[in-house]
Amino acid sequence: MNNASLARVLHSPNTPLAIVVVLGVAVLTVQSGGSFLSPISVQTFFQFLAIPIVIGLAQMATLAVGQLNLAVGAIGGFSACLAAIFMADFGLPGWLGGIAAILIGLACGFANGLLVVFTRINGFVVTLATMTILSGAQYALVGTRTITADAWPELQAIGRAQPLGIPLIFWIAVAIAVVLAIVYRHALLARDMLASGGNPLAATLSGISNNRSLVAAHALSGLLCGFAALIVLASLPGANKSVGGDWLLSSFAAPIIGGVSLVGGTVAVLGTVLAATIVRLVDSARAAFQLDPSWVNFVIGAVVLGTVAFDRVRARRQSGAQRRQSKTPDAPPTAAVRAVEGA
């Protein structure tokens, strides 16, 4: 690695996150006397890391266009429960049930995007409303019932598979992240979404449809929530009204800590994955040190708030520097220029 490459790595916003991950693993390994790195512990860690990664990416998709998706958990929970009913009560094959979960999530996200565009109401309010509606619909579907995973053995086989000793569902989450990174780098629609999020007026003047970008971002977010629902069906022993209920904080924590701006125009796929890993390490530390579960939410919430505050301060400093630079008087004219002006 040459000096230029090393400098890029050291100045990358992902480097501090990677260091935190390494330190977290080291602390938990020492605390557990090495058992944290045992095969069973590693498998469990990665199994429960898949969902935070996918829902973090789902939230990132809407943050990229300056929107929020408060319905991440509701979409995932509703998709999982409705697909579970299709399989348990109507005999839908497991592989079709998994596809149904993904498509239901896509449909819910697409509906969110259309509502934002046609009502001209901020996505915060729209997704707050749809979160309430879908949470109620989820309870109406299953009530106090838990639909056991015996109805979808094909998906459970995916959940039990462990290529290279790592759960397959984690590899699915990584594959989703890789595909998403490629899409945001090369796909025209994805670049349009980032342009709309960064500067809607400039995007409009460039011929980009901001409405299309908003619908596409919410649809992508819903699609990823559908994938999260698929992972739930593959990894958990059943589906009930609690699925998705605790996803909201994690969905914001991963992209915000990972470096995604709340004002739109940016994505950070690798940063989101690393931040989701940190969130999972915090949860593991809670169990290892026998902390109260409420402390986990407190720590994650405090980190998210601190990250947002730091981002705002940095943005204000950059804006102030740009204003001062624009007010700097032009350099005095040269002798040649003065001669031309005098002539």
At residue 308, the pLDDT reads: 78
Domains with residue ranges and CATH for the chain: 40-159+175-316 (1.10.3470)
Q: What is the mean pLDDT of the chain?
A: 90
Q: Residue 296 — very low, low, confident or very high, per pLDDT cuts 50/70/90?
A: confident
Query: Mean pLDDT, to the nearest integer, of 138-167?
Result: 95
Give yes or no for residue 3 having a pLDDT over 80: no
| Least confident window among 88-92, 175-179, 207-211, 258-262 | 258-262
Give yes or no for residue 21 having a pLDDT over 60: yes
Query: Mean pLDDT, to the nearest integer, of 168-192?
Result: 96
H or E element, residue 119: helix 94-119
The DSSP string of 171-215 is HHHHHHHHHHHHHHHH-HHHHHHHHHHH-HHHHHHTT--HHHHHH
Provide the token pair at 106: 């896509």
At residue 263, the pLDDT reads: 87
Query: Mean pLDDT, to the nearest integer, of 128-154?
Result: 95
Neighbours of 217 (CB within 10 A): 31
At residue 338, the pLDDT reads: 45
Q: Residue 174 — very low, low, confident or very high, per pLDDT cuts 50/70/90?
A: very high
d(CA 47, CA 39): 12
Q: Residue 11 — very low, low, confident or very high, per pLDDT cuts 50/70/90?
A: low
Give yes or no for residue 9 having a pLDDT over 60: yes
Neighbours of 37 (CB within 10 A): 12
Q: Residue 6 — very low, low, confident or very high, per pLDDT cuts 50/70/90?
A: low
Closest residue by Cα to residue 265 from 325, 192, 337: 192
Apex CA 96: angle with CA 167 and CA 85, to 5°?
Answer: 95
At residue 307, the pLDDT reads: 78
At residue 281, the pLDDT reads: 93
Overall pTM surpassing 0.85 (yes/no): yes
Give yes or no for residue 342 having a pLDDT over 50: no
User: In percent, how much of the chain has pLDDT > 70?
Assistant: 90
Question: Cβ-count burial of 220 within 10 angstroms (0-12 exposed, 13-18 middle, 19+ buried)?
Answer: buried
At residue 333, the pLDDT reads: 52
pLDDT in tens, 320-341: 766 777 666 554 555 444 433 4
Q: Residue 275 — very low, low, confident or very high, per pLDDT cuts 50/70/90?
A: very high
Give yes or no for residue 4 having a pLDDT over 70: no
Length of the chain: 343
Which residues contact residue 145 at a Cβ distance below 8 angstroms, ignoring those fewer than 6 apart? 240
User: In percent, how much of the chain has pLDDT > 90?
Assistant: 77
Of the segments 67-81, 246-260, 313-327, which one has the largest average pLDDT value? 67-81
Q: Residue 343 — very low, low, confident or very high, per pLDDT cuts 50/70/90?
A: very low
Give yes or no for residue 317 having a pLDDT over 80: no
Neighbours of 187 (CB within 10 A): 12
pLDDT in tens, 181-220: 999 999 999 999 999 999 999 999 999 999 999 999 999 9
d(CA 146, CA 140): 13
At residue 288, the pLDDT reads: 83
At residue 1, the pLDDT reads: 58
Closest residue by Cα to residue 51 from 300, 251, 309: 251
State how beta strands 147-148 and 238-239 pair: antiparallel
